[in-house]
Structure 1
Amino acid sequence: MSTLTRHLALLRYLAADLLRAQVFFLPTLVFLAVLGMLNSGDPGPPLSNYQGTALVIYPVAAALTMVICNAEDPVQRQVSLVTAGGWGRVLAALVTLAVLALLMLTAIALLVPLIVNPRPQPPSLLLAGALAHLGSGLLGVALGLLCARPLLHRPVHAVSTILLGVVLVIFLGRIPPIGNLMTLLEGADGRHALGTLALNLTLSAGLLAATVALVFALGRKRL
């Protein structure tokens, strides 16, 4: 069996287990509720709605990643480790599943304002929204990995760490990749902010890669 085939099989198994556990429901519902509130009544231009959802997707992605990593009970996880061939492959599948969930939420956040406000929009608006949501969301995925097993086992510690991550972002003010989103997502089409948003996304991707390496190293010692 090739590496890709094994990865896809493990990914399908983890996704099916996540759907059975239904632990993804609460963070997804929170995100959809915020999205609905932002687009109720006269929602205004899509870019202004992207400000709210791009900020909210950070803690939501963290919570989703945490529940994705914790969906299996410890006994199931040990079976997965043996079947998959090690912690590295399981971690890769978990990160892939978390990023796929982030992509789905991003697509919903981008399309709903366009459906509610069906006017011709420049491609730069969608691109700016996508970069903003992915930059914020990937940082949330990184935070979620730090809050899940095998690093944190107690739910109270995991939730507290996510809340601490949100407070830290607020405390840091306009420091990227999240603090400058409110300023960047202003204007008519977001064309002016594409370069900075791309840098934000690159920074978040780098932080996620570093977090994956850290979780892999620590997980090998704890599993």
Structure 2
Amino acid sequence: MRNLEDTYRHKGLRNQLVQQLKQKGITNEAVLNAIQQIPRHFFLDSAFDKIAYEDRAFPIGEGQTISQPYTVAYQTQLLQVAKSDKVLEIGTGSMYQACVLAELGAWVYTIERQKKIFDTNKTFAFKNKYPNIKCFFGDGYEGLPTFAPFDKILITAAAPFIPPKLVEQLKIGGLMVIPINEGNSQRMLRITKVSADACKEESFDLFSFVPMLTGKKL
């Protein structure tokens, strides 16, 4: 069960979390404000209520995790989300990252490959606050060609390579943020699509993500 009550204590813990993120180098005020606004404990089992605002990942079932808040803030800051951007997210998970993007005013198209997680999210009441989130059950490597092109693409799992079908679905001038495997950790990359057949790569810090898998899991 999830605790969907947002108390003064929860709000105070969010304030502390935002201060930690600032100290770690997150400078985008819109991103910090989105994290301030969204009750992270809503996305976790109530057993995690007292520790939901610690800056670490937690399990959400099916071998998946809700990402560390710093990781969410870091990826979102790199993505440079503008209001009304059309954003494709690969790996819905708990929906926390999708809600951060939606709080920034993006139109979010998010894909989850685990049917159990996808079905759980359908009944998650808090997502009704964000009619700008559309959830899909599918294979992240395939993307959503029907809804392409996208202004931004965010991958929230460790990819062994940059998926070519996702690059195809990115607008010229668009950005993709993706963690790419480097042994036991992943290098965060930002890809800018500069033309129909050329991209620019920027390399950032190392992180640890669950693997990006092919196919769907019923």
Bin the TM-score by the shorter chain. under 0.3
Considering fraction of residues, name the structure with more strand.
2
**TM-score, with length taken from structure 2:** 0.25
**Structure showing greater Rg:** 1
**TM-score, with length taken from structure 1:** 0.24
Considering fraction of residues, name the structure with more helix.
1
